[in-house]
Amino acid sequence: MLRNTKKEWLIAYILVAPFVAIYGLIFVYPTVDMFILSFQDAPLIGTGDFVGTENYERLPRDRRFNTAFWNTAYFVALTVIPGTLVALAISLGVTRLSGRLQSLVLALFFLPYILPVSVVFRIWDWTMNFQFGIAMHLLDALGLERVPVFQTSTFFMPAVAFVTIWWTCGFSVLLFLAGLRAIPQEIYEAASLDNTSRWRTFRHLTWPLLWPITALVLTIQLILQLKIFDQVYLFSQGGRPNDNLVMVYYIFQRAFVNNQGGRAAAIAVVLFIMVIIIAALNFQLMRLSERNK
């Protein structure tokens, strides 16, 4: 049978067109617009005068940008690898359980993940509030000084990182569990016949076989934590907002508080490029380390 390729192409175009149109409208167009906006002295809404690269030039000497940049890096360092390790440890523990008990324990670790960020904020504020937090009464009982966790710059980032790991590691645990279940039992049986120690089993079997999942979790975490905003914003209410700035928070501040859409767009472009570079680097590193195995 002869195929009418021209007609097939036409049908293909027609079928793809709605997706391309929607993708172009809600993704490509705003992204391009953001780039254009970053070269303008624009308010939050509407366009402004073209100012060249001025919005970018002022970033290196902008103190708040500096704070935001380093805080974001600090936060990523505090959450990505530690969060992945915690999730791995939990999943290794959970996988040793079986039946109902396993489901129950898994559910307990997954529970925080389903909470909205506002509830997470309320729970931890209720715990850590300097005047009325239940943790503070615990410190009193132990005869220790109360700690204003979210009002000092020393404790702020580590505390928010801790809350973030507590909140989100349930999802990583699920990914790791799926990875662990995909490892054939026979390999472990063979290892135990050879009297391999538990550590060697982990080091030479579980860890390498689980590496693709670990790499996936690390990448997801990295991109997610670079875009951190909600928790930092909520816990900074009052407190010391300008010391706690992270990139997205600073974009929000410039755009919605200072009404400077152009300057906000410039920071957004920087973050956009940062995420692309880091994600690409991360991907290459993962591939390299995989090839070495």
Partner 1 sequence: MNKFLAIATASVVASAAQAQETVVWWDFLAGGDGVRMKQMIEDFNAAHEGEIVIDATTLEWGVPYYTKVQTSVAVGEAPDIMTYHSSRIPLAIDQGLLQELTPADFETMGLGEDDFAPSIWDAVSADGAQYGMPLDTHPIVLYYNKDALEEAGRLTEDGLPMGLDSREGFTQTLQALQDSGSVNFPLASVTADGNFMFRTIYSLMGQQGGELMTDGEFLAGDNPQKLENALTVLQEWTNAGFQSTYTDYPATVALFTNGEAGMMINGVWEVPTMIDLEAEGNLFNWGAVELPVIFDQPATYSDSHVFAIPAGNDMSEEKRAAVLEVMSWFSNNSLFWATAGHIPANNSVQGTDEYQAMEPNATYSSLTENMIYDPKTPLAGVAGPIFDVMSTYFVPTLNGEMDPSEAVEEITYELNDM
Q: Which is nearer to partner 1, 69 or 176 (CB)?
A: 69
Distance CA 160, CA 246 (A): 12
The tokens for 8 are 């097939």
Task: Report helix, strand or coil for 261.
Answer: helix
Q: Let me know the angle formed at the C-alpha of 60 by 59 and 62, rounded to the nearest 5 degrees.
A: 60
**Is residue 242 near partner 1 by the rule CB under 8 A?**
yes
Least distance in angstroms from the C-beta of 236 to partner 1 = 9
Which of 256, 273, 281, 289 forms a contact with partner 1 (CB under 8 A)?
A: 256
User: Distance from CA of residue 209 to its chain's centroid?
Assistant: 24
Task: Report helix, strand or coil for 116.
Answer: coil
Distance CA 195, CA 211 (A): 24
The structure tokens 């999730």 sit at 87
160 exposed, middle or buried (CB, 10 Å; 0-12, 13-18, 19+)? Answer: buried
Which of 3, 63, 96, 100 forms a contact with partner 1 (CB under 8 A)?
A: 63
**Is residue 241 near partner 1 by the rule CB under 8 A?**
yes
- CA distances (Å), origin 201, targets 49, 71, 97: 64, 38, 18
**Is residue 60 near partner 1 by the rule CB under 8 A?**
no
Distance CA 282, CA 97 (A): 33
Tell me the per-residue interface mask from 136 to 175 with partner 1, x by CB under 8 A, - otherwise.
Answer: ----------x-x--xx-----------------------
**Is residue 118 near partner 1 by the rule CB under 8 A?**
no
Kindly indicate which of the ranges 24-32, 97-105, 130-138, 173-181 contains the residues binding partner 1, using the contact rule CB under 8 A.
130-138
**Is residue 258 near partner 1 by the rule CB under 8 A?**
yes
**Is residue 130 near partner 1 by the rule CB under 8 A?**
yes
Which of 239, 272, 279, 282 forms a contact with partner 1 (CB under 8 A)?
A: 239
Where along the sequence are the contacts to partner 1 (CB under 8 A)?
43-46, 62-64, 129-132, 146, 148, 151-152, 237-243, 253, 256-259
